[in-house]
Amino acid sequence: MKRTTGLWLLIGLFGYAILPWYALRRGFWSFEWLAQFGEEASAPALFNVLNFGRFWLAPAGLALLAAGLLLAVNAPVKRARLTALAAFTGLLMTALQGLVIGQHGPRAFGDLLAFGGMESGQPGFGAGAFVVLLALLFILTTAISAMGRGRGDAFVVGLIGLIISLVGVFVFYPVLHILIRAFETPEGISLTAFLPRLFSADIWGLGCLSGASSCGPGVNSVVLAILTGATSTLLGLAFALIFTRTDFRAKKLLRLLTVIPIVTPPFVIGLALILLFGRTGAVTEIFANLFGMEKSRWIYGFGGVYLAQVLSFTPIAFLVLIGVVEGVSPSMEEASQTLNADRWQTFRYVSWPLMRPGLANAFLLGFIESLADFGNPLVLGGNFDVLSTEIYFSIVGTVADASGTAVLSIALLMLTLGAFLIQRQWVGKKSYATVTGKADSGRHAALSTGVKWASYATALPWAAFTAVVYSMIIFGSFVKLWGYDNSFTLFHYIRAFGIKHTAHGWKFSGVAWDSFFTTLTIASIAAPLTALLGLATAYLLVRQKFAGKNVFEFSTMLSFAIPGTVIGVSYILAFNFPPIELTGTAIILVIVFVFRNMPVGVRGGIAAMSQLDSSLDEASITLGANSFTTARRVIAPLLGPAILAALTYSFVRAMTSVSAVIFLVSAKHNMATSFIVGRVENGEFGIAIAYSAVLIVTMITAIVLLQLLIGRRTLRAADRVET
C-alpha cells in the first residue's frame, strides 16, 4: 500500500502545485501556462490558495498532505482507514466547491457564501484539478484494498472505483441535469408542474383518432416503434431461417445486403428513399408517366419514416436471430421427428418456442432503436412529429426552451428505459436452455414447404428492394441534379473531396475535408478507449466478485437505453458550465462516443471471457503474477474477437452517429454526419450522398484492416500459448 499510495501522492502534489487548476482558454496543450506560471488565470491550486485567497481549494491539498503524513503510521489497518477518510473528504469537498461556486458566483446559498472572493465565481476544472482528483481517487481505492476489500487487490478495487466515477460523471451527472431542468418553470422550481407537463396532450394527445388533429409525438413514437420492431423482427427471422435452414445458393450476397445498412449513416437510407419516391424520384416518375398518377409527397411522413427504419433495423434483428436459430438443439428436433411429427409440427411445437426469447429480444432492440432514431425522422418526418426530432427543434429553435426540452427528453427516456428494463427482466428470467454440457450432434431439421416459401416470399423481395435502395446511393452521387438532369458527373465528389495543386503544393480544396479528418481522428481515438473501458468492465463482471455487482452492471449498460438526442441535450446542460466545461471541444465528442458505445464492448467482453476457464487466472496468480499482469499477459491476448467487435462497432458508430453529436459539434470540430445533415437541409442531396458513399467505403476499409490486424495478433498469441 505504501508504495502505491506514495506514487499517487507524488502525482497529486504535482497537479496541486504545478499544473493550472482551472481550464485555460487556449487549452492545456498550448503550454502557454508555462510562460504565465503563477498568474491568476493559469495558476496551480497552491498559488490560488496562498496568493489569490481561494481558500476553498485548500481541502484537496490538505487531503494530500494528510495522506502523506499517514504513511508514517505503522498500524496497517488504522493507516488504511485514516487514509481512506482523508482522500474521501478531499474528493467530496473538491467536488462540492466546484458544483456550488459557478462562473458568476455561488449557485446556492448565495448570501451565506458571499465572502472571501467566492462571490466573484471561478472557471471550470482544468488539468490540475483532474490530476488531483484522479490521485485522490486512487489513494482512496488503494486504502480500501488495504482494509481487505476486494480481496486486497489494489488493481481490482482501483478499476472498480475508476469505472464507477467515469459512469457517474459522464452518464448519471448529465441525466441528473435533465431531471432538474424538467422541474423549472418561469416562476422557478415547481414540483407540482412537472407531472402535468410530462403527461400533457402536447406529448400524448390522441387527436389523430378523431381526425381533429394529429397525435402527440409521444404516441407517434410508440406506434412507430411497435410497428418497426415487429416488422424488422419478422424480416430478420425470415433472413435467419433462409440462411441457416435452407440450401439457398446466394447466401453470401444475402448476408451482405443485411449487413451493409450497419455501416451506413442513419439518414442515408432516407435520402435514397427520396431519390426513389420523392416528387422527382425514379419510381414516382415511372408511375406518373405510365399510369398518369399524380406526383405526391407521401414519402414525407409516417410511411417514409417507417420504411426507412425497417430498412435500417432489419439487419440488427437478423444478427440477433441468426444465433438464436442456430442455437436450437438439433437433437430435440430429431426427437420430435422420431415421434412422427412432420416438419411443420416440429417447427411449431419445438423450434418456435425455443426461439421466442430471441424474437422478444430482437423486437425490443428494434423498439428501442426506433424510439432513439433521429436521422430518418429528421429527413423524412414532414409533419409527422416524434420525440427525438421534437427535442432537437425545441433546443435549436428561435427560442430555446431548456425546460421543455428536458420534459420531452424524460418522456423519451421513460419509454426507452422501460423497454430496456423489460428486456433485462422479462426475457432474462425465462429459461429456454437446451445446452446440457454434452455434445449436441446432428443436423437441424429442414423447414416445412410452407415455412420455407413464406420465408422466401418475405425476405427475397425485401432483399431486392434493399439492393435497389443502395444502388440509388451510388447512382445519385454521379448525376448532376436528380430528377431534372441525370447526366453523369463527378462534380459532387470534386466539390466535397477535391484536391488542387497550387504554388505552395497540394491542397485539400474540397468542402468536406475538414469534417472528414475531424471525424476520422475522433473515431480513431474513441474506438480503442471504448474497447478498453468495455473490456475492463467485462473483466470485473466475469472474473471478480464484489458487493453491488448487479447495480454496477446495470449502471454500465444504462447508456444503451438513453437515446442519442437525450445524451446530446444532457451534455449541453451539464458541460456548458463549471465545474466541467467541455462544450465546443473535441474532448466532449470523444467522451460521448465512448460512453454511448461502451455497452457493446461490455457484452462482447462478457461473452468472450465467459469462455476462458478461470484456471488460467489461478495458474498465473499461483506463479506470482498480480491481477494487472494476469489481465494484460494472459486474458487480453485471448480476447481477439471481442476486441475486434468492440473496436469495429465503436468506430462505425462514431463515424455514423448523428443524434448526439449534432448538439455538440462546433465550427472548429464539425463531424461528417452533422455536415451531411446541413447539406440535406440546404437541398444539396448530391454532395450529401457522395459524402455518405465515401464514409461507407472508409468504414468497410477500416473494418477489413482491423480484422487483419487483430486476426494476426490473435494467431501469434495463440502460438505463444501453445508453446
Whether residue 387 contacts residue 371, with contact meaning beta carbons closer than 8 Å, is answered with yes
Q: Cα–Cα distances in Å, from 93 out to 35, 88, 90?
A: 30, 9, 5
Q: For residue 611, what pLDDT is reported?
A: 65
Is there a single domain that holds both residue 464 and residue 512? no
Answer yes or no: is pLDDT of 720 > 60.
Answer: no
For residues 588 and 509, what is the distance between their CA atoms, to the nearest angstrom? 28
Q: Residue 634 has what DSSP assignment?
A: I
Is there a single domain that holds both residue 279 and residue 137? no
Average pLDDT, the chain: 84
Q: For residue 716, what pLDDT is reported?
A: 41
* Residue 668 maps to a domain: yes
* Residue 182 maps to a domain: no
Q: For residue 428, what pLDDT is reported?
A: 53
φ, ψ of residue 379 in degrees (nearest 5): -80, -40
* Residue 491 maps to a domain: no
Is there a single domain that holds both residue 307 and residue 455? yes
Is there a single domain that holds both residue 378 and residue 469? yes
* Residue 297 maps to a domain: yes
> Which amino acid is located at 248 in the chain?
F
Is there a single domain that holds both residue 236 and residue 378? yes
Written as nine digits, the cell of 623 is 506463479
Name the residue with higher pLDDT: 706 or 301: 301
Q: Checking phi first, is residue 545 left (phi over 0); if not, alpha (psi -120 to 50) or beta? A: beta
Is there a single domain that holds both residue 379 and residue 515? no
Name the residue with higher pLDDT: 109 or 399: 109
* Residue 404 maps to a domain: no
Q: Which residue among 147, 175, 199 closes a domain?
A: 147
Model pLDDT for residues 323-358, shown as the tens digit of each residue:
778 777 777 777 777 777 877 888 877 878 878 877
Is there a single domain that holds both residue 234 and residue 313? yes
Is there a single domain that holds both residue 229 and residue 110? no
Q: For residue 63, what pLDDT is reported?
A: 96
Question: What is the CATH classification number for the domain harbouring 710?
Answer: 1.10.3720.10
Q: Distance between alpha carbon 51 and the CA centroid of its chain, in Å?
A: 44
Mean pLDDT calculated for residue range 515-539 = 91
Answer yes or no: is pLDDT of 104 > 80.
Answer: yes
Mean pLDDT calculated for residue range 208-236 = 90
Query: What pLDDT band is residue 435 in, cutting at 50, 70 and 90?
Result: very low
Query: What pLDDT band is residue 442 in, cutting at 50, 70 and 90?
Result: low
Domain that holds residue 560: 508-722
Percent of the chain with pLDDT over 70: 93
Q: Which residue among 128, 147, 166 closes a domain?
A: 147
Is there a single domain that holds both residue 116 and residue 233? no
Q: Cα–Cα distances in Å, from 408 out to 216, 312, 380, 412, 636?
A: 11, 24, 20, 6, 42
Domain count, the chain: 3
Q: Cα–Cα distances in Å, from 66 out to 47, 130, 376, 534, 573?
A: 19, 19, 56, 34, 36
Which stretch of 400-404, 438-442, 546-550, 666-670 has the lowest confidence by average pLDDT? 438-442
Mean pLDDT calculated for residue range 711-721 = 41
Answer yes or no: is pLDDT of 633 > 50.
Answer: yes
* Residue 564 maps to a domain: yes
Percent of the chain with pLDDT over 90: 32
327 CB neighbour count, 10 Å cutoff:
15
* Residue 651 maps to a domain: yes
Dihedral of alpha carbons 686, 688, 691, 696, sign: negative
Written as nine digits, the cell of 500 is 488542387
Instruction: Give the total residue count for the chain.
Output: 723
Mean pLDDT calculated for residue range 30-43 = 84
Q: Distance between alpha carbon 475 and the CA centroid of its chain, in Å?
A: 31
Query: What pLDDT band is residue 14 in, cutting at 50, 70 and 90?
Result: very high
Name the residue with higher pLDDT: 423 or 226: 226
Answer yes or no: is pLDDT of 362 > 70.
Answer: yes
Is there a single domain that holds both residue 229 and residue 375? yes
Is there a single domain that holds both residue 23 and residue 81? yes
Q: Which residue among 126, 147, 168 closes a domain?
A: 147
Mean pLDDT calculated for residue range 602-614 = 73
Q: For residue 524, what pLDDT is reported?
A: 92
Is there a single domain that holds both residue 532 and residue 461? no
* Residue 198 maps to a domain: no
Which stretch of 160-174, 379-393, 475-489 has the lowest confidence by average pLDDT? 475-489
Q: For residue 377, what pLDDT is reported?
A: 93
